Chains A and B, each alone.
Chain A
Amino acid sequence: MTRTAFVSACAVLLIGGAALAQEKPGQATVEAYVKSTFGKASPEWQARIAPDESLTVCNLTRNNASSAEAEAMIKRELARVTYPADGKLLGDWKKGYAVANNGRGGQFSDPPGTAAGGNCFACHQLDPKEVSYGTLGPSLAAYGRDRKYDAEAMKDAYTKIYNSMAVVPCSNMPRFGANKVLDEQQIKDVMAYLFDPESPVNK
């Protein structure tokens, strides 16, 4: 009797397991689908959608990394941040505006060699006079002024732009420097757009 009950309980568990497995497909199944749709792309394009260690964690946890994973991620991503050798974090805010306003680059429709922009306005308010801004990220209006142009705040912002996941694990924001979307000068110029007292962001 007891034994029958035990076997039944096991059977129920197995069925439950099978139902769950159906809910969450195996990684090999998902990869096969990805291959069926993107498998003809060039190796260079394929590499772009091969998740690195951090993105693998973000995908598996849907951006809710455990505290241990988050800690490891911050360490790993921080090691990928390169600060300017000359120690200067701010470039030209006018050029920074151009980078923030440019949404081109990295799309399969872009001609080869297209200079990528940061497309900051797609997700953030920056210059309060600009009407066309997105809301996926927080408003960055008066960013430098609100932080009293503090040196530490500048370094933190540089780190965030260079590699968002070095600051916020599984951040939705692109890792602009680490993923080589923007180069150092472009990041410096965007930094100036955020931190130069003359920038419209701070007016």
Chain B
Amino acid sequence: MNPVNYLYLACLLFTIGATGVLIRRNAIVVFMCIELMLNACNLAFVAFSRMHGNLDGQIFAFFTMVVAAAEVVVGLAIIVSLFRSRHSASVDDASLMKL
């Protein structure tokens, strides 16, 4: 199978994730969309690794997973504490970082 197709899939996944980040309000969904984008990148890394025949891309994919895991830990903690204090997980309600 042509590895380019994996790249198309990665593009599709990334676009879905990005659209989700932009249009959804629920923080959990936004968060999952971000994960989707990260994984789209991972897919692209692995595909390129395959296409170019070296392991750099796969190593990067592992890095991305570690970062994603760390992000999940911090991000979910923030979302949970936000929900506790504001009884809402909507990102539009948390627009306090402005003057």
Q: Do A and B come from one complex?
A: no
Could you tell me which B residues sit within 8 Å of A by CB distance?
none
